[in-house]
Chains A and B, each alone.
Chain A
Amino acid sequence: MASTGETESVRARISFYEDQGQYRGIFSWILTTDHKRIGLLYFVSVITFFFSGVVLGFFMRLEMVAPGGTIMGPQTYNSLFTLHGIIMIFLVVIPAIPTIFGNFFLPIQIGARDVAFPRINLLSWWLYIAGAITVMVSVFTGGGPPDTGWTFYAPYSLRTTVNVPMAVFGVFILGFSSILTGINFVTSTHMLRAPGMTWKRLPLFVWSIYSTSWVQILATPVIGITMVLIFLERFFGVGVFDPAKGGDPILYQHLFWIYSHPATYIMILPAMGIVSDVVPVFARKKIFGYMAIAISGVAIAAVGSLVWGHHMFVSGQSDFADILFSLLTFLVAIPSAIKVFNWIATLHKGSIVLEPPLFFCLAFIFLFSIGGLTGLIQGALAPNLHLHDTYWIPGHFHYIIFGGMGFGLFAAFHYWFPKMFGRMYHRKTAKLAWLILLVGFNIFYFSMLLLGWEGMPRRYYDYLPQFRTLHLTATFGSWILIAGLIIMFANLFRGLLKGEKAEDNPWGGATLEWQIPSPPPTENFEEIPTVEKGPYDFK
């Protein structure tokens, strides 16, 4: 893709692991402004929180293995699903791909030495950690862990005695971190592209991070102010969401979803970018419909910002609003489907190489399609009345968030692992882990869809005997899924310690990160490359 100068002289330069910068030991990490080190800081933090969320989810499922209180009471269960939601949404799913892989690879893929504001980048990580700690402290102090669900719906969040204010303050700080990351990526993409890196030559991963960053900048402030208002309400009783003082809880829901629906696109768009980058490499074929994929990402970001009301069909908003939001929701399906068809068309007649990253991408396409189609069912007004607040909803969004974003993240782990760490994991074990994950995932979450269809309400710690078989199946599926996770991460960890040395370009990728050594040197490129080809020209 580019002339990176003399390969030998680049190889002679030391990797960013050996070049510690001006600090030593742990400080060379937590005070670094190198985008790759910051990416790895997020890598470690996000995986830590991911496993905390998994453990909470495991215990929730265990409670549901049989009717009645099995291992916990209702209050504990309420706290568990709230914390599972807060941790997974705000600490894992929203930041994961932009902060780990966006930080590590966006500058390299556009041919830059770092992001536009390296120090603000470090500040983002510190704010992320501060927000995470605030949320964690809220669990153990002031009346106990939050029990409102991750949505903090008023008026319950104003009345409950548990430590809601601290948790929402943590979410506010996390939002700040997210906005700064977004600003960094948008500015980097505009200002730091290498000569010849035109908008039509940007890797689709960069396009997806770019669209995501815009949503982060434009939507996150709204949840920021909403959280501040909950905070003010709890401490000063200003009354803006309290019906006793004339406030309107439905306005809270509007403000909350004005951010939180676009946030679901913050979650899924980067994963789509990864799939768009990985599929052509393993099909040995130029991506089908480059501009269609790039533009559909922006379209998802734009239209997706106007559909928040579909979370509120039974809230009492006007029928006209219901119809409008339902229509707009259907419209989002179009750009999403464009992407799916383009990935399939890229695979068509390609010389497919079945390596782990592609396996995860194929799982993404399959699971995301189920998630997307179930989304259309609940996006229609009549079925929504039946499905609202049932297990169907968590079933649907786990297909999108875990099946889509999660498997996209796993694809990224397996695709960029050799570049990030300079070593290779055991490929057969990775494929085995993929199979176990896929089987466990579907047993688990398809049961949830069926439970919801039959009327099992979500967020209950107990259920009627008729749901017994499906709940047992779901819990069984969760064990398989967790086994798959353990195998996958153990394999990656083993690869990190003992894996064979990876080549610079093990997959034959054409984007810029594959043209530099593994792991990359501190400044990525000895001299800024001049780009002469597109990101998917494999010749």
Chain B
Amino acid sequence: MDEHKDYTGSKLGMWLFLLSEILLFGGLFILYSMYRYKHPVDFHLAAWELSRPLGTLNTLILLTSSLTMAFSIASLRRGDYRISKLFIIATIFLGFLFLGIKTIEWGAKIEHGIYPNSPRLLGRSKGEILFFGLYYSMTGLHALHILVGLLVLSIMFFLMIRGRINKDHCVPLENSGLYWHLVDIVWIFLFPLFYLIT
């Protein structure tokens, strides 16, 4: 069979996949809004306990990583492979940084005995149990997406080293970029919902 590459088709497929990702998180956002509506005061109190400085820092890190991702694609399109690879490494680094800070945040909470099914959490009001249940589920699922993104970006890096991605065939990196931006956008919604609205 002849080698066949369809730029628009690959893009369309990726966007459809992203649509399904939005709906995957959508289910959780529905739960969040319903439970927030039922327990406004509990959600308010629980949100105070999350660290806003760390959340803000992570937001900045993730936004910057989206920028480096975009730079990487732009350099690839220009045929500037060295710069493109450097920006991928920067993106991967920022992704790990995000996960590191996330781990510190989770670790601190777990150390205080606040984790799903913990005796201390079960002793608190139902709204707070739900808030932290959703907090761990949603940020956990998001972190899993970051991990997948890091894996995909590493593969892209090696494909670029071997010349399988180049300025005439940049769709894999562009699609990885779209995925990375989606993960970023999900965080843009998670951050205010859990940290800022109190």
Contact = CB atoms under 8 A, between A and B. Distances in A.
B25 A217 contact: no
Nearest to B23: A221
Contact of A217 (B16, B35, B129, B136): B16
B1 A222 contact: no
A183 interface: yes
Contacts, number: 113
B21 A239 contact: no
A192 B10 CA distance: 12
A443 B20 CA distance: 42
Contact of B127 (A224, A246, A258, A523): A246
B26 interface: yes
B20 A217 contact: yes
Given A117-B13, A191-B12, A246 B24 contact: no
A184 interface: yes
B24 A190 contact: no
Interface in B18-75: 19-28, 30-31, 34-35, 38-39
Given A187-B12, A190-B12, A237-B117, A225 B24 contact: yes
B141 interface: yes
A248 B32 CA distance: 12
A220 interface: yes
Interface string B119-150: 00010011101100110110001000000000
Nearest to B127: A246
A316 B116 CA distance: 28
A238 to B, nearest CB: 4
Nearest to A21: B1
Contacts of B9: 116-117, 187, 190-192
Interface in A189-241: 190-192, 217-222, 224-226, 228-229, 232, 236-240
A217 B12 CA distance: 13
A247 interface: yes
A230 to B, nearest CB: 12
Nearest to B1: A523
Describe A's contact surface by its main secondary structure. helix
Interface in A487-539: 522-523
Given A191-B12, A245-B126, A222 B27 contact: yes
Contacts of B23: 218-219, 221-222
A258 B30 CA distance: 12
Contacts of A224: 24, 27
Contact of A240 (B26, B31, B141): B31
A239 B116 contact: yes
A379 B155 CA distance: 51
A474 B23 CA distance: 41
Contacts of B21: 221
Contacts of B17: 179, 183
Contacts of B168: none
B6 interface: yes
A254 B26 CA distance: 13
A237 B27 contact: no
A409 to B, nearest CB: 26
Interface string A256-269: 00100000000000
B38 to A, nearest CB: 8
Contacts of B39: 246
A225 B28 contact: yes
A232 B137 contact: yes
A221 B20 contact: yes
Task: Report which residue of B17, B21, B38, B116 has the largest number of chain A beta carbons within 10 angstroms of its beta carbon.
Answer: B116
A221 B26 contact: yes
A114 B6 contact: no
Contacts of B129: 239, 245-246
Contacts of B8: 191
Contact of A245 (B38, B130, B137): B130
Contacts of B117: 236-239
A60 interface: no
Contacts of B116: 232, 236-239
A179 B20 contact: yes
Contacts of A116: 6, 9, 13
Contacts of A182: 16
A259 to B, nearest CB: 9
A25 B54 CA distance: 57
Contact of B133 (A218, A245, A248): A245
Contacts of B31: 229, 240, 251, 255
Nearest to B25: A225
27 contacts: A114-B1, A117-B9, A117-B13, A120-B13, A190-B9, A191-B6, A191-B8, A191-B9, A217-B19, A218-B20, A222-B24, A224-B27, A225-B24, A225-B25, A225-B28, A228-B141, A229-B137, A237-B116, A237-B117, A239-B129, A240-B130, A240-B137, A245-B133, A247-B133, A255-B30, A255-B31, A522-B1
* In the complex, the 4 A-B pairs of residues with the closest C-beta atoms, listed nearest first: A246-B126, A237-B117, A238-B133, A225-B27
Given A183-B17, A222-B27, A237-B117, 7 more contacts: A191-B12, A217-B19, A220-B20, A222-B24, A232-B116, A246-B39, A247-B133
Interface of A: 113-114, 116-117, 120, 179, 182-184, 186-187, 190-192, 217-222, 224-226, 228-229, 232, 236-240, 245-248, 251, 254-255, 258, 522-523
